[in-house]
């Protein structure tokens, strides 16, 4: 299969193409997600899905952090959204030329909400393999996967509540992944949970020793790749359809609408200049604390 050129990710397959490995590759930016990265990630998931040999997709990241969230201001992020020859086409369609809340709503639906939902329902078994800080939009990528494994360095937080005046990221799986009270606590404080706690509450399936994450994830993936692909997909669908019937899909939609109301609120407060809390000192925010190890 022809592999397109990637700038922000890497794509490879191993074991006679039965396992595809997608690596986020912006380690110096802590794998912050700019639009170009998300578009490439979408193409890579699609290629893995198209390939009948692929049974399991591992989503991992180079460097010490799986993903620090959306890219709010790197040179790449500014260049790709600024009008001119380097602007990505996706900023000129799907609402990119609209005004106000409509622009946010349409753009975020395509590039943060619907793409994450689509990856969650990918026709392959997906494993997120994460390390270091996994913050905010980093959680969205991880939560879209069927299984999550980490090493002992991992910590998990959605900091947009405490730092940006937002009610969580666009794909609001928080209550489902963390439980309703823990979701409120972490969003209201901006605190993180560590790998052991994430394992205890069932969000993370395995916590591997530091330095072993890559190899141990592949061993884990091999066990799953050995299952018949039809059975694997039916197991995935049985669980996903159960969650959807419990209201997962409708709850995600409702919370996404609130998220867009939240952006519109800050747009009104700031006179249309910023769509997050304009007084939020996010660049000078203190380090994220680990909730269960830190009092109060």
Q: Which residues bind Zn ion (CB under 5 A)?
A: 108
Q: Going by DSSP bridges, is the β-strand pair 206-208/56-61 parallel, antiparallel, or unpaired?
A: unpaired
**Is the Cβ of residue 206 or residue 263 nearer to Zn ion in the bound state?**
263
Beta strand ranges found along 188-286 (DSSP E): 193-194, 206-208
Query: For residue 19, with 0-12 CB atoms within 10 Å meaning exposed, 13-18 middle and 19 or more buried, which class applies?
Result: buried
Minimum distance from CB of 109 to Zn ion (Å)? 10
Q: Is the dihedral of CA 284, 174, 40, 89 positive or negative?
A: negative
Minimum distance from CB of 70 to Zn ion (Å)? 8
**Is the Cβ of residue 94 or residue 229 nearer to Zn ion in the bound state?**
94
**Is the Cβ of residue 107 or residue 150 nearer to Zn ion in the bound state?**
107
Q: Cis before residue 131, ω within 30 degrees of 0? A: no
Minimum distance from CB of 262 to Zn ion (Å)? 8
Nearest to 7 by CA among 112, 110, 79, 96: 79
**Is the Cβ of residue 172 or residue 220 nearer to Zn ion in the bound state?**
172
Minimum distance from CB of 91 to Zn ion (Å)? 15
**Is the Cβ of residue 76 or residue 260 nearer to Zn ion in the bound state?**
260
How many residues does this entry show for the chain?
296
User: Cα–chain-centroid distance for residue 16?
Assistant: 28
CB atoms within 10 A of CB 176: 17
CA angle, 73 then 23 then 241, to 5°: 95
Radius of gyration, alpha carbons of the chain: 19
Q: Is the dihedral of CA 162, 208, 41, 173 positive or negative?
A: negative
**Is the Cβ of residue 234 or residue 254 nearer to Zn ion in the bound state?**
254
**From CA 74, how far away is CA 284, in angstroms rounded?**
16
Minimum distance from CB of 274 to Zn ion (Å)? 12
**DSSP-based three-state secondary structure for 24:** strand
Ranked by CB distance to Zn ion, the top (closest) residue is 108
Six token digits for residue 7: 């700038």
Minimum distance from CB of 63 to Zn ion (Å)? 25
Minimum distance from CB of 8 to Zn ion (Å)? 20
How far apart are the two ends of the chain, measured CA to CA in Å? 54
Minimum distance from CB of 259 to Zn ion (Å)? 6
**Is the Cβ of residue 163 or residue 236 nearer to Zn ion in the bound state?**
163
**Is the Cβ of residue 71 or residue 108 nearer to Zn ion in the bound state?**
108
């Amino acid at each position: 299969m022809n592999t397109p050129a990637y700038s922000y990710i890497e794509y490879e397959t191993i074991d006679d193409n039965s396992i595809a490995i997608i690596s986020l590759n912006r380690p110096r930016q802590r794998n912050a997600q700019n639009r170009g990265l998300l578009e490439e990630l979408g193409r890579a998931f699609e290629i893995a899905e198209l390939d009948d040999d692929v049974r399991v997709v591992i989503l991992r990241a180079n460097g010490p952090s799986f993903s620090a969230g959306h890219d709010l201001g790197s040179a790449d992020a500014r260049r790709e959204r600024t009008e001119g020859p380097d602007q990505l086409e996706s900023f000129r369609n799907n609402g990119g030329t609209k005004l106000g809340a409509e622009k946010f709503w349409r753009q975020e639906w395509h590039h943060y909400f619907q793409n994450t939902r689509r990856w969650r329902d990918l026709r392959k078994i997906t494993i997120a393999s994460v390390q270091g800080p996994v913050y905010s939009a980093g959680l969205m990528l991880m939560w879209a996967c069927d299984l999550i494994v980490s090493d002992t360095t991992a910590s998990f937080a959605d900091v947009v509540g405490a730092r940006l005046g937002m009610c969580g990221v666009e794909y609001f799986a928080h209550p489902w992944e963390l439980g309703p009270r823990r979701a409120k606590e972490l969003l209201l404080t901006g605190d993180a949970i560590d790998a052991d706690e994430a394992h205890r509450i069932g969000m993370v399936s395995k916590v591997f020793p530091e330095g072993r994450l890559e190899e141990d994830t592949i061993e884990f993936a091999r066990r799953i790749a050995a299952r018949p692909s039809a059975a694997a997909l039916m197991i995935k669908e049985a669980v996903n359809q159960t969650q959807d019937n419990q209201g997962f899909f409708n709850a995600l939609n409702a919370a996404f609408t609130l998220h867009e109301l939240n952006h519109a609120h800050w747009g009104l407060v700031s006179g249309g200049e910023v769509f997050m809390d304009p007084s939020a000192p996010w660049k000078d925010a203190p380090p994220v604390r680990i909730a269960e190890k830190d009092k109060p």
